[in-house]
Amino acid sequence: MMWTSTKRIMRSGFFSFWRNGFVSVSSVLVMVITLFVITTTIFLSAILNASLEEIKNKVDINVYFVRTAPEEDILALAKSLESLPEVKTPVEYVSRADALADFRRKHQDDQFTLQALDELGQNPLGASINIRAKEPSQYEGIAEFLKSKNTLSKDGTTLIDKVNYYQNKTAIDTLTKMINSANRLGFIVTLFLVCVSILITFNTIRLAIFMSRDEISVMRLVGASRMYIRGPFVVSGAIYGMVSGFITLILFFPITLWLGNATAEFFVGLNVFSYYITNFAQIFFIVIFSGAFIGALSSFLAVRKHLKI
């Protein structure tokens, strides 16, 4: 009996969708705009996250060791750092010889500096390690770790000459605040768009329900249940949303194809077309589910509020 009722509700919902052609087209167009905005938000969020990730990858702290620091002690410290959950592995080790070669390469056009370096007769540079944290907010904890006893060599002498975290602290703190603000703003904007989408779709679908007011009155007179009256409208609303979702996905294919190279050039190498193809399954689910949910919820609210069932 329950299955029979469900089939009737589904059949009535599909029939209502095709019967009210003009209203269905209007509802679908409105929801396409709504889902287009939501999908655009997904791509903007991806671009923002890629940009922030690129900035995060450029932020690090360097630990410079005294020239007499034994290599085995430096490597042991690097291994200890890699065991920390906050540290992004691997920790990059730069030996004294590599540091000198890099210094010469950077100053290859400065003969005065290179001559002064040759006159020293020895390598004045110490080894160093480059550390990247998984999140900018974790650099302070890493800096505190470097102050611990692990920064001493086996004979108890000082191992570390300088840690540049404190010179970069302002930039790291600013980046942390920027990331937190961007995440909060993205959540607020998405929530706002969903609320506006429901409101717009609600008012559009309400027209279809208004056109069926006589039919609903008859159904109430013959004792139809509330679920049986609401059901077809909820099904129609879900169909509006799914059809709108498919149209939105089709529209974004040529749009992302056209914008792909431009975004790759201006937004840290993120090609929105490649992103669209790579994450199509996830985007498909979000768009179709969002459309069906907004359409069904809007229909349910419109029936309940305006027809006083």
DSSP per position, the chain: -HHHHHHHHHHHHHHHHHHSHHHHHHHHHHHHHHHHHHHHHHHHHHHHHHHHHHHHHH--EEEEEPTT--HHHHHHHHHHHHTSTTEEEEEEEE-HHHHHHHHHHHTTT-HHHHHHHHHH-S--PPPEEEEEESSGGGHHHHHHHHTSGGGB-TTS-B-EEEETHHHHHHHHHHHHHHHHHHHHHHHHHHHHHHHHHHHHHHHHHHHHHHHTHHHHHHHHHTT--HHHHHHHHHHHHHHHHHHHHHHHHHHHHHHHHHHHHHHHHHTTT--HHHHHHHTHHHHHHHHHHHHHHHHHHHHHHHHHHHS--
Q: Which of 16-20, 244-248, 292-296 has the highest mean pLDDT?
A: 244-248
Q: How many Å separate Cα 258 from the centre of its chain?
A: 22
List of residues 6+ apart from 269 with CB closer than 8 A: 50, 54
Predicted confidence (pLDDT) at residue 78 exceeds the cutoff of 80: yes
- Averaged pLDDT, 215-235: 69
Q: How confident is the model at residue 221 (pLDDT cuts 50, 70, 90)?
A: low
pLDDT in tens, 147-169: 775 556 566 667 888 888 766 66
Say if CB 156 and CB 73 are below 8 A apart: no
Residue ranges matching CATH 3.30.70 in the chain: 67-158
- Averaged pLDDT, 44-68: 78
pLDDT in tens, 165-219: 766 667 667 767 777 777 777 778 777 876 776 677 677 767 666 766 666 666 6
pLDDT in tens, 85-123: 888 878 888 888 888 888 888 877 777 777 777 777 777
What span, in angstroms and rounded, lies between the C-alpha atoms of 48 and 14? 40
Q: How confident is the model at residue 247 (pLDDT cuts 50, 70, 90)?
A: very high
- Averaged pLDDT, 251-280: 83
What span, in angstroms and rounded, lies between the C-alpha atoms of 123 and 119? 11
Residue matched to tokens 């470097």? 146
What span, in angstroms and rounded, lies between the C-alpha atoms of 67 and 158? 11
**Position 5: which residue type?**
S
Predicted confidence (pLDDT) at residue 45 exceeds the cutoff of 50: yes
Residue 3: predicted pLDDT? 47
Higher pLDDT, 66 or 24: 66
The region, left, alpha or beta by phi > 0 then psi within -120 to 50, assigned to residue 268 is left
Residue matched to tokens 């090609």? 271
- Residue 37, judged by CB atoms within 10 A of its CB (0-12, 13-18, 19+), counts as middle
Higher pLDDT, 165 or 81: 81
What span, in angstroms and rounded, lies between the C-alpha atoms of 244 and 238? 10
- The CATH T-level fold of domain 67-158 is Alpha-Beta Plaits (3.30.70)
Residue 213: predicted pLDDT? 66
Q: How confident is the model at residue 268 (pLDDT cuts 50, 70, 90)?
A: low
Average pLDDT of the chain is 77
Higher pLDDT, 239 or 151: 239
Residue 119: predicted pLDDT? 74
Higher pLDDT, 1 or 279: 279
Q: Which of 7-11, 52-56, 82-86, 169-173 has the lowest mean pLDDT?
A: 7-11
Residue 1: predicted pLDDT? 44
Instruction: List the structure tokens of 159.
Output: 């191992």
The C-alpha torsion from 231 through 234 and 239 to 240, rounded to 10°, is 150
- φ, ψ of residue 198 to 5 degrees: the values are -65, -40
Q: Report how far apart the first and last C-alpha atoms of the chain are (Å, whole number).
A: 23
